[in-house]
């Protein structure tokens, strides 16, 4: 059964050689940012996440909200396995795929087709799965003969089409996203949106960080509001969204 359990999870970033004495007070006086503690004269700790306890089950479509620096990206990275908590435990049962950085692992000297293979392998697909899907992915990009030339010859939009098509070709049990992925010219954007929606609808657990109320209201059945690395509110969209957005 797909599920996620975070127990007393904290993520700390030590900053060495910090010399600004008033740093802590300055930052804590605003809504943005994680918690800041001065450890010694020279070391300051920024707590991106501060003692998070959280259980996510199948069917949870979670929207993550919070001001800049509240800890959303840090939490997405813990859930993707990119960060290990500096305290506490993160138990993740299920295949998690993150669409946080879809360009990760892209090689400008490799062809489009080779890059699709690379990206798929990075997401955990087996060679057989890649062989089964590659033609569909190539077709979705609509890049034609460009698929057989090096990626460095692509325009930015063409690179994004390729990264998008490969990254959305897997149907994971846990889908982790930072805002909605949208790319390309009008025709591609329309197809891309449909593909994203079908991915989001088919995943067992969705975690979507966003600053868009409409997007969260449309796709989520649970909203978690982070502030200074802690959970300020966790509940139904109709309760949490108005409290946050006002």
Q: Does 241 bind ligand ATP (CB under 6 A)?
A: no
Tokens read off for 123: 């997401």
Tokens read off for 237: 């969209």
Beta-strand pair 230-235/87-93? unpaired
State which of positions 34-53 bind ligand ATP (CB under 6 A).
34, 46, 48
Q: Does 85 bind ligand ATP (CB under 6 A)?
A: no
Q: Provide, for the chain, the percentages of residues in helix, strand and coil under a 3-state DSSP scheme, each rounded to the nearest 5.
A: 40, 30, 35
Q: Does 66 bind ligand ATP (CB under 6 A)?
A: yes
Distance in Å, CB of 106 to ligand ATP, minimum: 22
User: Of the two residues 73 and 212, which places its CB atom closer to ligand ATP in the complex?
Assistant: 73
User: Of the two residues 46 and 240, which places its CB atom closer to ligand ATP in the complex?
Assistant: 46
- The three-state secondary structure class of 237 is helix
* DSSP H or E stretch at residue 98: strand 96-98
Distance in Å, CB of 210 to ligand ATP, minimum: 10
Q: Which residue in 72, 117, 204, 230 binds ligand ATP (CB under 6 A)?
A: 72
User: Of the two residues 73 and 95, which places its CB atom closer to ligand ATP in the complex?
Assistant: 73
Kindly report the length of the chain. 246
Tokens read off for 181: 């992925």
User: Of the two residues 15 and 118, which places its CB atom closer to ligand ATP in the complex?
Assistant: 15
Q: What residues contact residue 243 under an 8 Å CB cut-off, 6+ apart?
A: 225, 233
Residues in contact with ligand ATP by the rule CB under 6 A: 13, 33-34, 46, 48, 66, 68-74
């Amino acid at each position: 059964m797909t599920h996620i359990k975070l127990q007393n999870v904290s993520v700390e970033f030590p900053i060495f050689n910090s010399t600004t004495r008033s740093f802590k007070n300055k930052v804590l006086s605003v809504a943005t940012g994680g918690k800041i503690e001065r450890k010694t004269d020279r070391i300051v700790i920024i707590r991106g996440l501060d003692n998070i306890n959280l259980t996510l089950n199948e069917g949870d479509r979670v929207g993550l909200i919070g001001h800049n620096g509240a800890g959303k990206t840090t939490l997405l990275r813990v859930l993707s396995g990119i960060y290990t908590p500096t305290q506490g435990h993160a138990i993740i049962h299920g295949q998690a795929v993150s669409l946080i950085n879809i360009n990760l692992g892209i090689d400008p000297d490799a062809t489009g087709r080779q890059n699709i293979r690379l990206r798929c392998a990075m997401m955990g697909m087996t060679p057989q799965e890649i062989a089964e899907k590659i033609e569909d992915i190539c077709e979705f990009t609509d890049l034609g003969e460009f698929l057989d030339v090096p990626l460095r010859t692509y325009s930015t939009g063409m690179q994004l089409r390729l990264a998008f098509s490969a990254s959305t070709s897997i149907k994971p049990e846990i889908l982790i996203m930072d805002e909605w992925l949208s790319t390309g010219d009008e025709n591609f954007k329309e197809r891309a949106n449909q593909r994203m929606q079908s991915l989001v609808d088919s995943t067992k657990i969705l975690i979507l960080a966003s600053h868009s109320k409409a997007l969260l209201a449309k796709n989520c059945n649970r909203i978690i509001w982070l502030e200074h690395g802690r959970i300020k509110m966790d509940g139904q969209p109709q309760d949490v969204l108005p409290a946050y957005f006002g």
